[in-house]
Structure 1
Amino acid sequence: MATLAELKAQKDALEAQIAEAIKTERKDAIAQVRELIAAFELTEKEVFAKKRGAKSTVAAKYKNPQTGETWTGRGRTPKWLAGKNKEDFAI
């Protein structure tokens, strides 16, 4: 069985090999990415755009006839509708 010192030495040697492999393979990966970007004329926005869940739009259910403001019925009740019968403003 290997001693603790031998195992630590092996670990250090492996970590050095890993660091060297990362350094070498990273250069190759960067070169491949640059080739693809150039070949397809990609922009930074296309490559790094964050995709988020599609937001669905909800149709307005209520409308203020004086200002034209609308409300979907979701969230906080607008001031122009507070304390009034919602059905009177239904679209």
Structure 2
Amino acid sequence: MATYLELKAQAEEFAAKAEQARLSELQTVLDEVRARVKEYGLTPEQVFGRKRAASNRASDGASSPTARNGTPLPPVYRDPKTGKTWSGRGREPSWIKGKKRDRFLIAT
């Protein structure tokens, strides 16, 4: 039965061989990927998806729709006195806080 040190040395040897195999295959894989991208005229966004803002990646995963696509949400509520609007997301404005929201709904 092999000792721990012998097995550890074998594991390191196998890891080194695996890394050598990966490196030797890497250029072939890159060439294949580049050829496919060129053949189909793919963009980086199609291959990797849309980039996300750094603040979204660092957050707890709950990002707002405005942060996801860059466009603000349409307003759902309007203050009849001032004309100010609110999308219904985030902190309630003072003009609607504690009141029935039905009377502030914007007709669609």
- Shorter chain as denominator, the TM-score bin is 0.5 to 0.7
Counterpart residue identity of residue 31, structure 1? D
Structure with the greater relative contact order (CA < 8 A, sep ≥ 6): 1 or 2?
A: 1
Query: Structure 1: 5+ residue runs without aligned partners?
Result: none
Which one has the largest radius of gyration? Answer: 1
Number of the residue aligned with 1:64: 79
CA distance in 1, matches of 2:7, 2:98: 76
| TM-score in terms of structure 2 length | 0.56
Evaluate the alpha carbon distance shift between residue 24 and residue 82 of structure 1 in structure 2; reply closer, same or farther with a 3 A threshold: same
Check if 1:16 corresponds to 2:31.
Answer: no
Distance in 2, matches of 1:23 and 1:84, equals: 65
Mapped to 2, the partners of 1:84 and 1:8 lie a distance apart of 69
Identity of matched residues, %: 40
| Alignment partner of 1:43 is 2:43 | yes
SS of the aligned residue for 2:91 comes to: coil
CA distance in 1, matches of 2:6, 2:98: 79
Structure 1-normalised TM-score?
Answer: 0.63
Q: Residues 28 and 84 of structure 1: is their aligned pair in 2 closer, same or farther, counting only changes over 3 Å? A: same
Structure 2 regions of 5+ residues with no counterpart? 53-64, 66-72
Q: State how far apart, in whole Å, the 2-side matches of 1:32 and 1:75 are.
A: 47
Q: How far, CA to CA, are the matches of 1:6 and 1:80 in structure 2?
A: 74
Please state how far the C-alpha of 1:35 moved relative to its aligned partner. 0.9
Are 1:81 and 2:96 matched, yes or no? yes
Change (3 A) 1:84 1:26: same
